[in-house]
Structure 1
Amino acid sequence: MSDLLARHRAVIPNWVALYYNEPIEIVRGKGNRVVDATGKSYLDFFAGILTNMIGYDVPEVREAVERQLATGVVHTSTVYLLRGQVELAEKIARLSGIPDAKVFFTNSGTEANETALLLATYARKSDQVLAMRQSYHGRSFGAISVTSNASWKNNSLSPLNVHFLHGADRHLPQFAKMTDQEYIEACVADLRHVLATACSRDVAALIAEPIQGVGGFTMAPDGLFAAYKEVLDEHGILFVSDEVQTGWGRTGSAFFGIHNHGVTPDMMTFAKGLGNGFAVGGVVARGDLMDSLHAVGLATFGGNPISMAAANATLDYVLDHDLQANAAKTGAIIIEGLREAAGRLPIVKDVRGKGLMFAVELASPELAARFMEESKKLGLLAGKGGLYGTAIRMAPPLTLTEDEAREGLGIIVTALETINDEVR
């Protein structure tokens, strides 16, 4: 392993981070567990950053990909008809609730968000975009410009004129004692003030994550985006919901995260879990917006036959097995258990989440790093993030069983208890 780590460091950029003091190589996976090169098994509560959405070695997905491989057609391109692409687009358009929806496929969430920003700025003939504080939308030039997290921004250069809004920052002193409704009203008043003072009258869009991924699973209270949309509609401003992490039933209470707010946006972007490990992303938008671009466009590998086979099989599996309901059930076991334990663990500052998307906020980045090592030792994989690097974020596969939920909860609580005892 030390040899592979040395080779990695010699040829991979040093800004491509590796977890753990002794990074692991995952060599096998089955169900919701993975095995590293030393033979140690882990319950996976991070799912390749929310990407292995229905776990590992799923027969339905594997067989769909094998059937496509057997045809000999791994790639043609979008200049030819692609049956799997059309079938998947029909499903996504129907599920989105967006009227007269059309779908464009990409390879990643970053590309999807770039496409949505292009559609919005073209439609409104404006470079002005609203985004949320603490947001993350990808690593490309345009996506970084609407990202509001200093850890992920290399410079201030931007192709867009961006203004950032409140909505997921209840920890700030001016908001900390507010009820949900008072906070929503304060955020809406701020939005109106931003539009009156910082922008001209042709703002293109608001892009927002219903639950902020890299931000540490921070989230606006349900209803905030409905209140925002009322203001946006007054000005003709489009709304883009970034569903790269919150889509496909993960929140348990809605199939897309934005639907928890009672909102149908003009566009939604998606990626990650849809392919269950195969690269797929895209935008679903109102047909008039999608059709409005005058130049020819395509994504060479977007919508390719292999990723479409995997994505169709994955989405069918999610729907056929009602994994949204499973996310609600198993997520409640974990979140309720974490909240109960938090009362006796001073190192825990917050527990938050919806469904199988939850986080534990710790008192310092050092404690978060210590948790990562302890949970690894106990056989559980988790993620780390948050604006200040203090959040442990977890999003197991949607196929998590109740027994696995209780097992994972036990490991998390044991790790927290161990660390809490160390810092007394």
Structure 2
Amino acid sequence: MDPATGNSHAALLARHRAVLPDWLATYYARPIELTRGAGRHVWDAEGNRYLDFFGGILTTMTAHALPEVTAAVAEQAGRILHSSTLYLSSQAVELAERVAHLSGIPDARVFFTTSGTEANDTALLLATTYRRSNQILALRNSYHGRSFTAIGVTGNTSWSPTSLSPLQTLYVHGGVRTRGPYAHLSDQDFTAACTADLEEMLGQANGQVAALIAEPVQGVGGFTSGPDGLLAAFKEVLDRHGILWISDEVQTGWGRTGEHFWGWQAHAQAGPPDILTFAKGLGNGMSLGGVVARAQVMNCLTANSISTFGGSPVTTAAALANLGHLLDHDLQGNARRVGGLLRSRLESVAAGPGIVREVRGRGLMLGVELVEPGTDAPSAAAANLVLESAREYGVLVGKGGRDGNVLRVAPPLSLTVAEAEEGADAIGAALRRARSALEAGAGA
């Protein structure tokens, strides 16, 4: 593959910069346009083919151009595109029934949105209204979306452009296992220390706290998480105070972690969350998110409310087809099996170059944390070099972490063994090239 981009991308980039915001992030020194996809592969506007290891930020959950989804979208679009929640929708009701059942939340109600940000925004509205408090607990290093409210509970400073917020947020430990003051502890002691920190934080709260919002695996934060059972220990504390638990499953839902259908199930000894949010993968690229909550919480709003675009006929038709394919083909099991192989292969290729601190994650949600050669210092430069080189070798990966030093590897859940091997080899080559570039720069 020719690593150089040509006039097509350069011309579009010039137009992009002339009309879109300067703060709108794009990947690569020479950004590319993706124009076609099939299975686990995508093509750019200049005809280059890539193995997609990021899936539009974990959104292409099953496969690009999945026939069941494209057929459902085309068929529904030929009937009616839009109606709004002011009218009944058989597709929306059927999808809500399936999601409510799968959620594990008793007496569940479902509200559809257009994104994960909007889903988390709605969850915060429900929790603060139900508890009559604007105080929220969140994890350090967290990310919950780009709305004004969601930014107010985001503990990752690189994605939080303002300190202004309608919420009073109290940040607790627990999102990052291998860095910070408790990293040296055993899992049991780590959980105890974080739970004690939570209790201490509640002692400083001014009145009652509405909810804890937590990603079971922190996505933008670099695919980090605490030990299994940590959120269950938290929930024991929350329940004593009547505080709600919001599980942000925007990235961890639908079986991506392999071991569980939802991320919260790694902490299932405490039972399901009070509120669960989802988005991304369910629509397989269509704009669909939502909130599941027990009826008492969901129905606490007393003002009128609708959604113009949430749960539209087209997006719910796509989601029904996509969810059916996911369940019928046991893609959660595939994520567990192929994800385990991919993690082993990534650990193998990461062992040589000396710039990888840790390979972590579960299922097809894997992070590779990069550091300066021979140190423990986070290296955004290394991550950028690997991101660029991986593209040149034909693989698209993501990037995250508070310091921008973590590769995010999250292919569609239908990834094959051969594709896992191919992608790991390409990442290995990119790691070796990045190490050479870093050494050359240090010696210049």
Alignment TM class, shorter chain as reference: over 0.9
Take 1:40 and 1:392, find their aligned partners in 2: how far apart are those partners? 22
2:247 is aligned to 241
Offset at residue 201 of structure 1 (A): 4.1
1:166 is aligned to 173
Residue of structure 1 aligned with 2:149, choices 123, 142, 145? 142
Query: Tell me, which stretches of 5 or more residues in structure 1 are unaligned?
Result: none
1:357 is aligned to 365
Give the stretch that moved more between structures: 45-54 or 411-420: 411-420
Q: Does 1:98 align with 2:113?
A: no
Conserved? CA contact 2:382–2:438, under 8 Å:
no
Offset at residue 78 of structure 1 (A): 0.8
Q: Does 1:111 align with 2:118?
A: yes
2:394 is aligned to 379
Take 2:50 and 2:179, find their aligned partners in 1: how far apart are those partners? 36
Offset at residue 7 of structure 1 (A): 0.3
Take 2:104 and 2:25, find their aligned partners in 1: how far apart are those partners? 37
Cα deviations by residue, 1:257-285 (Å, 9 ceiling, x for unpaired): 11111141001000111101110011011
Residue of structure 2 aligned with 1:199, choices 191, 197, 205? 205
Residue of structure 1 aligned with 2:67, choices 59, 62, 87? 59
Q: Does 1:152 align with 2:159?
A: yes
1:75 is aligned to 82
Cα deviations by residue, 1:379-411 (Å, 9 ceiling, x for unpaired): 000011101010011110011111111111111
Query: What does residue range 7-406 of structure 1 map to in structure 2 within 5 Å?
Result: 7-71=15-79, 73-196=80-203, 198-262=204-268, 263-363=271-371, 364-406=379-421
Take 1:156 and 1:247, find their aligned partners in 2: how far apart are those partners? 29
Cα deviations by residue, 1:174-214 (Å, 9 ceiling, x for unpaired): 22211111100000010011111x20341100000011111
Take 1:144 and 1:247, find their aligned partners in 2: how far apart are those partners? 21
Take 1:335 and 1:172, find their aligned partners in 2: how far apart are those partners? 20
Take 2:401 and 2:346, find their aligned partners in 1: how far apart are those partners? 18
Please give the root-mean-square deviation of Cα atoms over the aligned residues, in Å: 1.0
Take 2:208 and 2:23, find their aligned partners in 1: how far apart are those partners? 37
Conserved? CA contact 1:201–1:235, under 8 Å:
no
Q: Does 1:3 align with 2:11?
A: yes
Take 1:317 and 1:265, find their aligned partners in 2: how far apart are those partners? 26
Percent of aligned positions that are identical: 55
Read off the aligned partner of 2:407 and give its amino acid letter: I
Take 1:365 and 1:192, find their aligned partners in 2: how far apart are those partners? 34
2:213 alignment partner, SS class = strand
Offset at residue 248 of structure 1 (A): 0.3
Offset at residue 341 of structure 1 (A): 3.1
Take 1:79 and 1:401, find their aligned partners in 2: how far apart are those partners? 43
Offset at residue 83 of structure 1 (A): 0.3
Read off the aligned partner of 1:373 and give its amino acid letter: E
Offset at residue 173 of structure 1 (A): 4.8
Conserved? CA contact 1:55–1:397, under 8 Å:
yes
Take 1:165 and 1:356, find their aligned partners in 2: how far apart are those partners? 27
Query: Tell me, which stretches of 5 or more residues in structure 2 are unaligned?
Result: 1-8, 372-378, 440-444
Take 1:244 and 1:174, find their aligned partners in 2: how far apart are those partners? 28
